[in-house]
Structure 1
C-alpha cells in the first residue's frame, strides 16, 4: 500500500474541537465516543488535542504512533486510571498493575495462556459448542448475542474454573453483565470524575455485582485449594495460577487470584462472545463469504468436529474472524499518560498528558483499509500480500501490555464458528445493529436471527 504523508503540526499549532469549561469535550464523547474519535481524525488530523473534564488529552491516529505509544507503556508512559468502576471490577490485576508488580503478575499469568496450554482447552471449546447446537432446530429463532454470550461463558467457566464452578455460571454471568453496563456508563459520564466515596445508584449496582463475583470466585478458589491439598491434579487455568510461583518462590495471593480470574474470564468470554456476534451479523449480509466458509469447512473437516490442529488449516474461517475484529475491535480505546521525557513521533509530550488511540477509528480509516465499511475477509488472504501498514490492526492492543488472552480468544472464535457454521446459518437479516461501547464493543440490544440449514 502506498505511504501516506504524516500530518503532525508544530507544537502549539494543532487544531482541536471546541471545549466546554470544566467538562471539556465530555458531552460529545459521552454521546457517541466512536463517532467522536472518527470526527477528530477526519476533522483535525492525526494529532488532535482534546479534553475529558480537566484531563489534557491527545488523540493519535497513525499506526506507527499508536505502535510507539503501546511500546512505551512501562517506559515513558503509564497506564491511564480508568475510574472507580474499572478498578472495582479488575482490582489490581495484570491489566491494571504497573511497574514491578505488573512484571511479576505477567510472568505468573502468561504461562497459563501460551499456545501449548490453549491447545488443551480446545476440546472443551468444541464440546460446549456441539452441546449447544444439538438443541437448535431449523427455523428456530434465537438472540445471537445471548446465545454466544451463554456459550462463551460456559467455555470460560469450564476452562478457567473446571467442574468446581458447575451451577455457578448463572450468577457469575449476570454479575458480569451488570458490571459491564455500569462500567461503560461511568466511563462515558460525569461520575468518572466523582471521588470514590460518592455512591451513585450506578455505583451501588456495580458494588453489588462485584460482591457476587467476589463471593462466587472465592468459593471456587477454596474448592481448588482443597482439591490440591488432597493431591488432585487439575487442568484448568485456575489450577495453573494456584501452582504458579514468582522468582522468589511466592504464589499469587487470594486477592491476586481473584483479580487474575476476572481478567482471564473477560478475555475468554466477553471478547469472544462479541466477536462471534458481530461475525454472524456480518456473514448474514454476505452470501459469498458464507458460501466460501461452507466450502472450506466441508473440504477441511469433511463433517467431523474441528480440533486445535484445524485452527491453522481453516484459513478462511480465521479471515472471517480477523475481519470481524477489524470492524468491531473488542479493545476500542487505548490510552496512556505521559511521564517525564515522553515523546511520540519524535515530538515531546508534556508530562501528565493522556495520549489516546482508537482501534475502532484506525481500523475504519480508508488510508489503511480501503473501503473500510465493507466486510471483506479476502483482504486478509495470505497470497494478497499486506494490505495495511504495520500496527494498523490492533484489536487486542499491542506492545508489552497486549491482551494475554488474545490467542485463547482467536482459537475459541474460529473453532466455535466452525462448529456452528457446519450445521446452521444464523440469518439476522441486513439491518445494522447499534453498538454500545462498554468494556468491549457490545450490541446495543438483542440480535434476533432465524436458524437456517446451510
Structure 2
C-alpha cells in the first residue's frame, strides 16, 4: 500500500493509503493513531462501514498498516493460509497476560506440537463423555427455577457454564472453584476489550495502566486456582476423565509432556472456550427467542417430539436439527468471537492481490455474518435458513466462510464441537420446561474478549404448562 499520490506525508497525517486495483479507498484517520479512535468508539459499526466500502479496504490500527477483508472467498483464504503466508500476530500484552502462549496464540512448530497434544481431549468421543455432565448441570438449574421467578439470564448462564467447565475441565465440583475463576475471568475479559480498542492498543508493553494492573491481579487469581487443581490431580491415585487429566497425561512425539506453564496456558484457553463462548451464545439465544415467539414455538415443538419424556443426551444431538439451527443462527447474528486477524508474510496474496509483508489483515464475523449479499433478510432471526428441504438440499445457499464463528482452516477452534453440543443440550433442557420472557426491550452487544450484552439480562421464568394461561 503506497501513500496517496502527491502527498508524501499522508501517513504522518493519518490518511489512508491510496487504493490500488481491487482495493477500495479507506477511511481517513488522525496522526499517529490512524483509525484507532473510530475503531475504539464502535468496533462493530466500524467493521460494517469498512465492509460497505468494499471487499478490500485499507485502514490503520494506530501506525500499523491494516487491510480489512469481508468476502467469504477471501476470508477462507486468510483462514486456510495461516501458518503458510500469514502469521498469528501479537495480540498485545493483555492477551498474553491471560492466555500466555497457549494454542490460540502460539505459532509454527510450537503451535503444531500444542495442537497435537490438546486436540485428543476434545474429539467427539471425549465430548460424548462430557455430555452427561452438561445435561446434569442444566437439569439442576431447571429444578431450581420456579414459575413466575425473576432471573438474570446473563448471571444464570454464566454460573451454569462455569459449573460445567470446572467439572469437565478441572474435575472439581465446588462453588468456590467456579466463583473464583469465573469472577477473575469476567474482569480479565472486560479489561482485554478495553485495552484492545483503546489507547492501550498503541502503548508499549512496559507502560503501566490501571487496566493492565487489573488484568494482572485477575490472572494471578486464575493461576492460583489452576495451580491448586493441578496439584490435586497429580497427588491423586485414580485416573480422572476430565480434560485436565488428559492434558497431564499427553505426550508429544518425543515422549515429552506439557510443562507446568503449558498446562496452565491450555487450561485457561479451554476454560474460555468451554465457558465464555457458550455462556454468551445462550444469553443471545434467549434474547432472540423472547423476541420471536414463532421461532420459540417451533423449537419447543421439536423438543416435545424428539425428547418426549426423557432429558436430552449426546445421542439426541443429531436429531435436534431445529435446536441446532437456533444456535447456528444465534452465532450468526451474535458471534461470540467477532474478529480474526493475521499478519502477512513475504509473498502473501488475497484474491490474487499482493499483500505487503507486515500488513495486518482483519476480518470480522459480525460484518460478514450480516452481509445481505450472503443472507436473505440478513438482520432477521431465521433458523430455518440452516435446515434442509425434503430433497436434502440446503434451504438457503450460504457460501462457505460466510459463517465462521469458530474461525476455520488449520487454526479452527478446537472446542467447536464441545461448545455446540453444550449450547444445544443446555437450551434443550431448559426450553422444554420454560419460556424466558425478557423484560429488557433492547440489548446491545459489547465487543470485549467475547461479544457480551451491555447490561443485566432480566427475564421472567414461565412454565410451559402455563403458556396459554
Task: Using structure 2 for the length normalisation, give the TM-score.
Answer: 0.93
> Of 412, 433, 436, which aligns to 2:422?
412
Residue by residue, what CA displacement relative to the aligned partner does 1:331-356 show, whole Å, maximum 9, x if unpaired?
A: 10001000111110111100000111
Aligned counterpart in structure 2 of residue 218 of structure 1, from 221, 224, 227: 227
Contact 2:340 2:407 in 1 (8 A): yes
> Counterpart of 1:402?
412
Q: Aligned equivalents of 1:446 and 1:164: distance in 2?
A: 26
Q: 2:62 aligns with which of 42, 53, 56?
A: 53
Quick check: 57-66 or 166-175, which moved more?
166-175
2:361 is paired with a residue whose SS is strand
After TM superposition, give the deviation of residue 387 of structure 1 in Å: 2.3
Within a 5 Å distance, the mapping from 1:63-212 to structure 2 comes to: 63-163=72-172, 167-212=176-221
Give, in whole Å, the separation in 1 of the partners of 2:177 and 2:321: 36
Instruction: Give the 3-state SS of the residue equivalent to 1:382 in structure 2.
Output: coil
Q: Sort the Cα spacing of 1:13 and 1:111 in 2 relative to 1 into closer, same or farther, 3 A.
A: closer
Matched, 1:346 2:316: no
Contact between 2:22 and 2:56, CA under 8 Å: does it hold in 1? no
Q: In structure 2, how many angstroms separate the alpha carbons of the residues matched to 1:338 and 1:13? A: 16
Give the Cα–Cα distance (whole angstroms) in 1 for the partners of residues 286 and 29 of structure 2: 39
- Cα distance in structure 1, aligned partners of 2:313 and 2:178: 25
C-alpha contact (below 8 Å) 1:284/1:429 kept by paired residues = no
Q: Give distance in 2, aligned partners of 1:117 and 1:238.
A: 12
**In structure 1, what is the Cα distance between the partners aligned to 2:296 and 2:463?**
12
Count residues with an aligned counterpart. 442
Say which is worse superposed, 75-84 or 270-279, in terms of deviation. 75-84
3-state SS of 2:118 partner: helix
> What SS does the corresponding residue of 1:50 show, helix, strand or coil?
strand
Q: Please point out which of 245, 250, 257 is paired with 2:251.
A: 245
Report whether the alignment pairs 1:274 with 2:280: yes
Distance 2:22 2:130 in 1: 52
Matched, 1:391 2:401: yes
In structure 1, C-alpha distance between the alignment counterparts of 2:27 and 2:123, rounded to whole Å:
43
1:288 equivalent to 2:298? Answer no
Tell me, in whole angstroms, the C-alpha distance in 2 between the residues paired with 1:211 and 1:194.
Answer: 22
Aligned counterparts of 1:18 and 1:219: Cα–Cα separation in 2: 51
Following TM superposition, by how much is the alpha carbon of 1:13 offset from its aligned partner in structure 2, in angstroms? 6.0
CA shift, 1:196, in A, is 1.8
1:436 pairs with one of 446, 449, 458: 446
Contact 1:50 1:56 in 2 (8 A): yes
CA offsets per residue over residues 400-425 of structure 1, 9 Å max, x none?
00110010000000000000001111
The residue that corresponds to 1:4 in the other structure is: none
C-alpha RMSD over aligned residues: 1.2
- Is this contact kept in 1: 2:163–2:173, CA < 8 A? no
- In the TM superposition, what is the alpha-carbon distance from 1:207 to its structure 2 partner? 0.5
Cα deviation digits, residues 239-290 of structure 1 (max 9, x gap): 0000100000000000000000000000000000000000000000111111
- 2:162 and 2:182 in contact (8 A); partners too: yes
Q: Which consecutive segments of 4 or more residues in structure 1 shift more than 4 A?
A: none
DSSP-derived class of the 1:51 partner: strand
Give TM-score, length-normalised by structure 1: 0.96
Within the candidate set 317, 327, 331, 1:325 is matched to: 331
Higher relative contact order (CA 8 A, sep 6+): 1
Q: How far apart are the structure 1 equivalents of 2:145 and 2:372?
A: 39
Q: Take 2:379 and 2:115, find their aligned partners in 1: how far apart are those partners? A: 36
Deviates more, 1:262-271 or 1:161-170: 161-170
